[in-house]
């Protein structure tokens, strides 16, 4: 690509926006008029590719939803973007790459100025707190409550005015908001955690109750914690992306972001005050997010796992490569439509046939190279939710599960691959699984792996289907014959 200047010493900023090529989209609003109505914790790549892009899309019509981006454990984002006036480039990867400058990030409070974090959350203009802090950031026990043994929680309860954890920061800042008399707001988790709103609410109330029962009651009364489901593949920023973006912009962007074309944000419609207008940018407000979470887990993630194990056995390396295999693509689509979709209930705003079509289009995106090995790792943690539960539900409804059985058998065959040449197995149960797989005994894998649910273990028909598929893959027709005759 040709550059527009002899050097790339200039940085993306308000001063250089007007000089960008016409093909590059830029904020369609006056940023000086924006108000930071959102405080976001964890402004990593996914947030900047997802929630910040939704906010950017609505600011021209409603300038009250700008973002103050808070990073508790790093100053990297602030150091990269403050010199750029908060601007960065989002590259959307599809048949063609689209570049768009995002302007919704207005402030970057960090631990260098903790008072600014508290002040922004306590401000009357702040209506919404969002978070992408990963599951670890919520400091939960396995039962879903706050882990009072977590070292950060122990420290924050001992010194609540100088918090270190995300939950500690929320409660400390809400206490200041209560003192200021600025009323409630909405705290919206955007992490891939089932029922994330309810889990976050419990963690916050557990901490607040331990700190100040009156504060806990105030939070329970005036703060809302809706759940949400988010989805969009966001590859890491690398030097190739930086060079590509600079080649088009003609100036340097210290931290551009890339994601696939598809993006989804489903939000429980439960807000303490005014609801942000993200539906104008394609978000869905619904009564119950759980149905969307189940659909993603069973249709998207389940199909991903089936593609990974079958694709690797057939010699493919990426999701796109596997989807270019006609018989494998047909198999996965039939599994999704005929066996998985019937296990999912109807839900407001969710058309399963359209959702399946969107997933298949995503899988075929030539601009996203998603490694099958990456998807295949940690099967013991993934398959109980992605495949085993679906098989049990399909049988309970009197439906077909033969393709699901083939996908599970493919995992067993994957475990039995010789290593090397296959890479070392990455799985917390690797030693146990490899020992069981070496026996070639499917019933031992089902009974002794410790991850197959009792309902599946006790179903003779499902066991026979897995056993038969496993044996067929070692027969004359092999893996390909198994999927072509399913």
Strand partners, 67: 38, 105
Q: Alpha-carbon distance 161 to 194, whole Å?
A: 30
Strand partners, 25: 100
Task: Give the pLDDT of residue 4.
Answer: 45
One domain, residues 141 and 36: yes
- What are the tens digits of pLDDT across the range 140-176? 998 889 999 999 999 999 999 999 999 999 999 999 9
Residue 120 contacts residue 135 (beta carbons within 8 Å): no
One domain, residues 39 and 94: yes
Q: Among 69, 65, 185, which Cα is nearest to 122's?
A: 185
Task: Give the pLDDT of residue 470.
Answer: 96
Given pLDDT bands bounded at 50, 70 and 90, which one contains residue 18?
Answer: very high
Residue 446 contacts residue 457 (beta carbons within 8 Å): yes
Task: Give the pLDDT of residue 17.
Answer: 95
Task: Give the pLDDT of residue 1.
Answer: 39
Instruction: Report the percentage of the chain scoring pLDDT > 90.
Output: 94
DSSP secondary structure of 391-429? HHHHHHTT---HHHHHHHHHHHHHHTS-TTTSPPP--TT
One domain, residues 27 and 136: yes
**Mean pLDDT value across residues 32-38:** 97
The β-bridge relationship of strands 264-268 and 228-231 is: antiparallel
Name residue, tokens 């005050």.
273
Q: Alpha-carbon distance 278 to 483, whole Å?
A: 42
Total number of domains in the chain:
2
Phi, psi of 65 (to 5 degrees): -115, 35
- What are the tens digits of pLDDT across the range 404-449? 999 999 999 999 999 999 999 999 999 999 999 999 999 999 999 9
Task: Give the pLDDT of residue 7.
Answer: 47
Is 5's pLDDT higher than 60? no
Enclosing H/E stretch for 105: strand 105-107
**Could you tell me if residue 7 is inside a domain?**
no
Q: Among 250, 248, 227, 236, which Cα is nearest to 296's?
A: 227
Considering the entire predicted model, what is its pTM?
0.91
- What are the tens digits of pLDDT across the range 86-98? 999 999 999 899 9
Is 393's pLDDT higher than 90? yes
For residue 29, what are the contacts with CB-CB under 8 A and spacing of at least 6?
A: 59, 60, 63, 103
Residue 145 contacts residue 206 (beta carbons within 8 Å): yes
DSSP secondary structure of 119-150? HHHHSTT--EEEE--TGGGG-B-TTSSB-TTS
Residue that finishes a domain, picked among 253, 286, 319: 286
Name residue, tokens 């040449």.
421
Q: CA torsion, points 134, 139, 145, 151, in degrees to nearest 10? A: 170
Query: Domain of 436: which CATH number?
Result: 1.10.1040.10
Is 347's pLDDT higher than 90? no
Q: What is the mean pLDDT of the chain?
A: 95
Residue that finishes a domain, picked among 238, 271, 286: 286
**Could you tell me if residue 8 is inside a domain?**
no
Q: What angle do CA 175, 178, 181 make, to 5 degrees?
A: 155
Task: Give the pLDDT of residue 355.
Answer: 96
One domain, residues 327 and 427: yes
Query: Domain of 141: which CATH number?
Result: 3.40.50.720
Given pLDDT bands bounded at 50, 70 and 90, which one contains residue 8?
Answer: low
One domain, residues 255 and 372: no
Query: Please, what sign has the CA dihedral across residues 253, 14, 113, 110?
Result: negative
Task: Give the pLDDT of residue 411.
Answer: 98
Residue that finishes a domain, picked among 268, 286, 304: 286
Q: Alpha-carbon distance 300 to 319, whole Å?
A: 12
One domain, residues 362 and 248: no
One domain, residues 274 and 380: no
Range of the domain at 329: 290-484
Q: Alpha-carbon distance 434 to 2, whole Å?
A: 52
3-state helix, strand, coil in the chain (%, to 5): 50, 10, 35
Is 3's pLDDT higher than 60? no
One domain, residues 253 and 336: no
Given pLDDT bands bounded at 50, 70 and 90, which one contains residue 2?
Answer: very low
Task: Give the pLDDT of residue 345.
Answer: 85
**Could you tell me if residue 1 is inside a domain?**
no
């Amino acid at each position: 690509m040709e550059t527009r200047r002899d050097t790339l010493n200039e940085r993306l900023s308000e001063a250089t926006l007007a000089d960008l090529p016409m093909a590059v989209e830029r904020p369609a609003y006056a940023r000086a008029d924006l108000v930071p109505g959102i405080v976001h914790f964890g402004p990593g790549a996914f947030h900047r590719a997802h929630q910040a892009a939704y906010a950017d899309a609505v600011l021209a019509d409603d300038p009250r939803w700008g973002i103050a981006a808070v990073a508790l454990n790093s100053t990297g984002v602030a150091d990269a973007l403050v010199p750029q006036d908060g601007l960065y480039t989002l590259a959307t990867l599809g048949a063609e790459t689209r570049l768009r400058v995002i302007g919704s990030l207005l402030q970057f409070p960090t631990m260098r100025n903790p008072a600014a974090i508290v002040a922004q959350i306590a401000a009357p203009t702040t209506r919404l707190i969002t978070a992408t802090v990963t599951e670890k950031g919520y400091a939960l026990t396995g039962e879903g409550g706050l882990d009072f043994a977590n070292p950060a929680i122990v420290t924050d309860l001992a010194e609540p005015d100088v918090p270190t954890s995300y939950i500690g920061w929320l409660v400390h800042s809400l206490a200041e908001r209560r003192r200021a008399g600025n009323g409630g707001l909405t705290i919206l988790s955007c992490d891939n955690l089932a029922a994330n709103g309810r889990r976050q609410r419990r963690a916050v109330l557990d901490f607040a109750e331990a700190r100040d029962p009156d504060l806990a009651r105030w939070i329970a009364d005036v703060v809302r914690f809706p759940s949400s489901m988010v989805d969009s593949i966001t590859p890491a920023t690398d030097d190739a992306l930086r060079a590509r973006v600079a080649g088009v912009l003609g100036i340097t962007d210290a931290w551009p972001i890339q994601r696939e074309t598809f993006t989804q944000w489903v939000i429980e419609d439960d807000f303490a005050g005014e609801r942000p207008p993200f539906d104008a940018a394609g978000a869905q407000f619904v009564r119950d997010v759980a149905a969307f979470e189940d659909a993603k887990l069973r249709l998207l993630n389940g199909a991903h796992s089936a593609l990974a194990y079958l694709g690797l056995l057939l010699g493919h390396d990426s999701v796109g490569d596997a989807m270019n295999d006609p018989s494998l693509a047909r198999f996965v689509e039939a599994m999704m439509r005929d066996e998985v979709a019937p296990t999912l209930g109807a839900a407001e705003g969710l058309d399963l046939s359209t959702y399946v079509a969107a997933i298949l289009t995503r899988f075929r995106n030539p601009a996203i190279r998603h490694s099958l090995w990456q998807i295949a790792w940690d099967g013991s943690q993934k398959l109980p939710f992605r495949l085993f539960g679906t098989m049990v539900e399909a049988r309970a409804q009197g439906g077909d599960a033969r393709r699901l059985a083939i996908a599970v058998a493919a995992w067993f065959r994957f475990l039995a691959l010789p290593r090397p040449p296959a890479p070392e197995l990455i799985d917390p149960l690797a030693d146990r699984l490899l020992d069981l797989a070496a026996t070639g005994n499917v019933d031992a894998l089902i009974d002794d792996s410790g991850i197959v649910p009792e309902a599946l273990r006790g179903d003779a028909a499902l066991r026979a289907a897995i056993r038969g598929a496993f044996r067929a893959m070692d027969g004359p027709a092999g893996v390909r014959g198994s999927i072509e005759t399913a």
